[in-house]
């Protein structure tokens, strides 16, 4: 019975992967600075961002969340895992990729994230608001 209840608990708390695409009028090089540096992320992602090596601290309204930098590729993408997920051994992450259309040269941001099934719409709305803030900072709103 214990194993069954543990499996049900794990299944119920499993997050679902989702992706969002946002067209954005900015050069990939400039955009990457806002995605990959603490000062750039402080402009749109959270109130303040501090980093020590691969550990980033994001501050919103006085509360802090920490994330581990999993990977980044200059001018292309950055990928983080929340420390809570890291400590729990969860594979969840969030990634922001810069995608440039080869023909039109249009630039888009592709956000990959995970949320519990009943929180997906809320998470998508949060990302939409965050990217809207980024567009305003870039003057591409």
pLDDT tens-digit readout, 98-131: 999 999 999 999 999 999 999 999 999 999 999 9
Instruction: Please state the pTM of the whole predicted model.
Output: 0.86
- Is the model more confident about 43 or about 84? 43
Q: How many Cβ atoms are within 10 Å of 58's Cβ, its own excluded?
A: 21
Q: What is the pLDDT of residue 12?
A: 52
Helices (H), the chain: 2-12, 28-36, 38-41, 83-87, 120-138
Task: For residue 67, give the nearest of 55, 78, 51 by alpha carbon.
Answer: 55
Is residue 46's pLDDT more than 50?
A: yes
Structural domains of the chain, ranges and CATH numbers in brackets: 15-138 (3.30.530.20)
Q: What is the pLDDT of residues 83-100, one digit of tens each?
A: 988 888 889 999 999 999
Q: What is the pLDDT of residue 141?
A: 64
Percentage of the chain beyond pLDDT 70 is 90
């Amino acid at each position: 019975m214990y194993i069954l209840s543990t499996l049900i608990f794990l299944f119920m708390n499993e997050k679902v992967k989702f992706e969002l695409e946002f067209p954005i009028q900015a050069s990939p090089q400039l955009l990457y600075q806002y995605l990959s540096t603490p000062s750039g992320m402080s402009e749109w992602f959270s109130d303040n961002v501090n980093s020590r090596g691969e550990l980033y601290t994001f501050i919103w309204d006085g509360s802090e969340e920490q994330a581990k930098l999993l990977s980044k590729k200059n001018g292309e993408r950055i990928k983080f895992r929340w420390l809570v997920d890291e400590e729990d051994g969860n594979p969840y992450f969030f990634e922001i990729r810069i995608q440039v259309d080869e023909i039109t040269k249009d630039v888009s941001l592709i956000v990959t994230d995970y949320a519990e099934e009943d929180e997906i719409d809320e998470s998508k709305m949060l990302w939409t608001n965050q990217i809207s803030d980024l567009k305003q900072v870039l003057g591409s709103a």
